[in-house]
Structure 1
Amino acid sequence: MTTTALVTGANKGLGRETVRRLAALGWDVFLAARDAGRGGAAVAELAAAGLDVRFVPLDVTSDESVATAADTVRAEVGRLDVLVNNAGVGGRVSPPTDTTAASLREVFEVNVFGAVRVTNAFLPLLRAAERPRVVMVSSGMGSFTVANDPRWFDLVPAQLGYPASKAALNMITSQYARALDGVLVNAVDPGYTATDLTDHAGFQTVAEDADVIVRLARVDSDGPTGGFFDRKGIVPW
């Protein structure tokens, strides 16, 4: 039976690379994106490379959009083996004392509430799979240990939105893993990636940073759950 997967925020960058890698394994992959034009273009590019990928419109900030996407996947394949919650935004970088509650809310709406909204909507389809997996794309910036490492101070300025949202996502991952018997739920830190999110200033390529996402998407039923991983192994909370 072909493995089915859905990746959110997948019209470009890390999400698109994850779709490409999973489709290359022969999986039936849904490329989910908010913008239909960009999502359709990404699917066309992958098709030109010989990869058969399905597009599904999905705005993680909209209950209606997420529900419609879940209905589409249910109608087309009836289950979901792997959900990759990749959609995320960096938000405006400003000192903590200059950060407003409204700007924090914008980041949390996508990075935190969006992941919860999508996971809950697709949970019935995940439960219909034999060995369901959920991968939450987090960041080392959401690690208290990493965030307090002086080696990062000059590179990453003190800020609230993005690190706090990823720290929240890590806790959400932990709690889903406790609550969802039979569903493996893990968070990953792809690394400092050269994407639009980092203004292409990252150290690693999207191909390198997709490694950990693909690895956690492929774990067996006896694999880890409730963990936080990067390419090298376990990331400290």
Structure 2
Amino acid sequence: MRAETPDVKAVFDAVPQRARELGWGTVPQGGDGKLVYCCHVTVSAKHWVYPPEAQGRRPPCIEIAYGPLAVQSGKSGCDLRPSDPALGLGAPPACGAGASSGDEPSGGYYQRADLGKFGEIGNNRKDLADKFFGWYTAVFEDGALEAKQKSLIALAVAHAVQCPYCIDAYTNDATAKGATLDQLTEVVHVAAAIRGGASLVHGVQMRGHVHDKGH
């Protein structure tokens, strides 16, 4: 809902009431001048809608954003997604960590809040950062591959290169795009198969060295 017009705003504002009528949970985010970060863009406000469990499975939440997208080149990462009110769990990030993650526990080398600082790389050589983030955004848009497919590929690569920030971001991004836990698990197996196979096939090099030395 990108047009900030009265009719669009009325539809957006009606989301919580309609969700309650359906027995779905809903949590607002942003609004009243407080922007919501998503990657390196902001929107005016969001509603997070949580469908109830069905057939033993809880469907993914629905993210409804309102207001025009505004690029914030000095910022990357997302505000934390509110927890499902029916579960009372801690809030996982929407697609990585972001502006609201200051209460993350400390002590580990990788801090979830650091992903939200990614855009700070543009504090120096902003021209290069702008080119990167512009290209990065374009890469993950729908093209010959759908955005969901690209997100799953990114998740597989994230496991192969063992990037905790990327695993965090693209687990949530793929889930938000409708990927199931089975699909997420399969892409991890694909990454593991390629990485394991790459190690094993180098055994050919080992065997070649052995034969060259006449052993």
Q: TM-score normalised by the shorter chain: which range applies?
A: under 0.3
Higher relative contact order (CA 8 A, sep 6+): 1
Query: Which of 1 and 2 has greater Rg?
Result: 2
